[in-house]
Structure 1
Amino acid sequence: MEDQRPGGGLRGPRAVLAAVAGLGVIAGLTLRTAEYPGVLPPGTPDPELNLGLRLVCAAAVLVAGTLAYLTFARRRDEPLAMASLPGLVVTGVVLRHLVVTLPGVARFQPAARIVPGAGAWVLLVSGIAMTAAGLAAAFAVRRAG
């Protein structure tokens, strides 16, 4: 029989938060990650998040989804604690995209007024939520142990 610990009832909501954040990442990957009203001149790099980084984010969602499933199947927070790692990967990818890529492209063509698109913001919020769910589970494991 499972131990009755304080805070043990929050395991489900943490796993659901990680799963919803994973769905948010998938939604963010389908949206535009850069908005630019003008046409970029030839030779200017595409400001959208590239395919390789999108695949990394999708793989992180697969890992987070598996960890959320294991949390429900085992009725323990330990697997979900690892969800902070894919959350950090998604957050890192998007921060790199926001901080490095977009200002760099804007230097080539300032008139294009390149700004982050809705997808970048959805990815950032989802990555932070996934990280927070994993960290909350890690603190719950630490308190229980």
Structure 2
Amino acid sequence: MLRDVTQAWRVPRAVAAGVAGLGVIAGLTLRTADYPGMLPPGTPDPELALGLRLLCAAAVLITGTLAYLTFARGQDEPLAMTCLPGLVVTGVILRHLVVTLPGVARLQPAARVVPGPGAWVVLASGMAMTAAGLAAAFAVRRAG
């Protein structure tokens, strides 16, 4: 009985992780910072840096691979590891929201730098990837 329930929920967890990964990619194509005015010369660009965007994209690639392995093997163990790339994505965007943007706003308050829609999409997607991985981990623990 428990095995049937676990098997029934495996596919939605893997699909949720995959959709969350696509959400990260979509969020990375949107603006991650919104500022109506021009920033003075020498002010760092408040957008998420290219290196951090590539790190998030690599985490999505890992998540996609783990979701595929979950389908191919019929086991939750690979999907349980998606919590790690999800935590990386969440950590990157939280650092961007908490550290970078207030620092820029402090340098030039008139710029009114605020998080852009991409930052919120990436944050929600990273949290969803983490949740899917943790749900799979709990399913593995219950089954074992």
Q: TM-score range by the shorter chain?
A: over 0.9
Give percent identity, aligned residues only: 80
Between the aligned partners of 1:6 and 1:127, the Cα distance in structure 2 is: 26
C-alpha separation in 1, matches of 2:109 and 2:22: 34
User: Contact 1:98 / 1:116 at 8 angstroms: preserved in 2?
Assistant: yes
Match of 2:88 in 1: 89
Alignment deviations for residues 83-124 of structure 1 (CA, whole Å, 9 cap, x no partner): 000000000000000000000000110000000000000000
- Which amino acid is 1:103 matched to? P
Q: Do 1:5 and 1:144's aligned partners in 2 also have CA atoms closer than 8 Å?
A: no
Q: Which residue of 2 aligns with 1:78?
A: 77
Deviations 1:41-85 (A, max 9, x none): 000000000000000000000000000000000000000000000
Give me the TM-score of the superposition, normalised by structure 2.
0.97
Written as runs of structure 1 = structure 2, the 5 A alignment for 1:1-145 is 4-145=3-144
- Distance across 2 between alignment mates of 1:52 and 1:94: 12
Does the CA contact (< 8 Å) of 1:84 and 1:135 recur in 2?
yes
1:8 Cα deviation from its structure 2 partner: 2.0
SS in 1 for 2:5: coil
Within 1, Cα distance between the matches of 2:87 and 2:132?
Answer: 11
Aligned mates of 2:137, 2:4 — CA distance in 1: 15
| TM-score between the two structures when normalised by the length of structure 1 | 0.97
Query: Deviation at 1:7?
Result: 2.5
The one-letter code matched in structure 2 to 1:13 is P
CA contact (8 A) 2:3 2:143 kept: no
What runs of 5+ residues in structure 2 fail to find an aligned partner? none
Structure 1: gaps spanning 5 or more residues: none
- 2:124 aligned counterpart, secondary structure: helix
Distance apart, 1:5 and its partner CA: 3.8
